[in-house]
Structure 1
Amino acid sequence: MSARSYERRGAWGFTLIEMLVVLAMLGVLAAAARPVLLMSVQRSQEFQLREALRQIRGALDAYKRAAEAGQIQLTIEDSGYPRELADLVRGVADAKSPNGRKLYFLRRLPRDPFADPALEPAETWGLRAADSPPDEPRPGRDVFDVRSLSERRALDGSRYRDW
């Protein structure tokens, strides 16, 4: 039969074999794209973790500088770091302000993107007190530093809890 006879009868289309080949090719492409998608999700979470750590650590440093400048009233036992992470959001009274205004260091406490979403943001972080050694971080009377509690490894092979 010539092509003209197919045109007249309206028999143009795909065969079952052609459709199956196309579907198989799409399946192979989707299977190849899945690891790339998963890696991009992990990369995004790593970026969020870095940003959250940078924000919290910057706020802890700002709190310490304010304490050293005399803006935060300290006792003899205080290290100059906040007693808990919530102090960065809740704010503290400015000791130099005559009308008692507050100093705020964070608008909101970021959460660890690798932690359980059911937890409150403050519960997602591991805390390190100023008097704990860097190789054995533990909570104490103040918050000197924060770390992720995740046991997972980053794309570069490091552990998130070591960041």
Structure 2
Amino acid sequence: MSRQRGFTLLELVVTATVLLILASVTVPLARNGLKRQHELELRRDLRELRTAIDDYKRMAEQQKIKAPPAEANFYPESLEILVEGVPAAGSISRKVRFLRRIPPDPFTGKREWGLRNSNDDANSTTWGGSHVYDVYSLAPGTGMNGIPYREW
């Protein structure tokens, strides 16, 4: 009598079912983990941009850098100025930089941000120009906290 080795059909079905259940649990966890990581990056990038804007304003008020026009309320005219740098007060050759680069929005992958000036409405989605008072994400969608990314 010869004995055949291998798996029975029942063992293969049970194994496939267990693997399917495990896969169906791990895929949503991985997806949520990726979204959570993007949200953490968005928070960090917004904080970095807002801190650079605040540092620029503080140094302009203290006359440590060449002040922007009076109608700008000491705010930078664009985000690019924070990267390019501004001449230090009393020096033509030395520049003060506030950012190494404009970070990309983790959800859109672009280095484009919504801008507001100090005269714009807090919920405005258009920039009034002249200076940058605040930044927000242009990404569609809502965060895991229930707040749209544009309102972060």
Pairwise same-fold verdict (TM > 0.5)? yes
Aligned partners of 2:44, 2:70: CA distance in 1, in Å? 33
Q: Which residue of 1 aligns with 2:117?
A: 129
**Taking structure 1 as the reference length, what is the TM-score of the superposition?**
0.84
Cα distance in 1 for residues equivalent to 2:65 and 2:117 = 19
Q: 1:24 aligns with which of 17, 39, 56?
A: 17
Contact 1:52 1:112 in 2 (8 A): yes
Give percent identity, aligned residues only: 40
Q: Gaps (5+ residues) in structure 1?
A: none
CA 1:16/1:86 → structure 2, altered by over 3 Å: closer, same or farther? same
Q: Distance in 1 between matches of 2:3 and 2:47?
A: 66
Structure 2 counterpart SS, 1:77: helix
Q: Cα 1:70–1:24, aligned 2, differ >3 Å: closer, same or farther?
A: same
Distance, in Å, in 1 between the alignment partners of 2:132 and 2:70 is 17
CA distance in 2, matches of 1:138, 1:96: 36
Partner of 2:44: 51
Q: How far does residue 31 in structure 1 lie from its aligned partner after superposition?
A: 1.1
Q: How many residues align?
A: 150
Among residues 109, 128, 145, which one is paired with 1:156 in the alignment? 145
1:142 & 1:114 partners in 2: Cα distance? 25
What is the match of residue 84 of structure 1?
78
Q: How does 1:2-151 map to 2 (within 5 A)?
A: 11-74=4-67, 75-97=69-91, 100-115=93-108, 117=109, 119=110, 121=111, 123=112, 125-136=113-124, 138-139=126-127, 140-151=129-140
Give the unaligned 5+ runs of structure 2: none
Q: What is the TM-score with the length of structure 2 in the denominator? A: 0.90
Rounded Cα–Cα distance in structure 2 between residues aligned with 1:21 and 1:88: 60
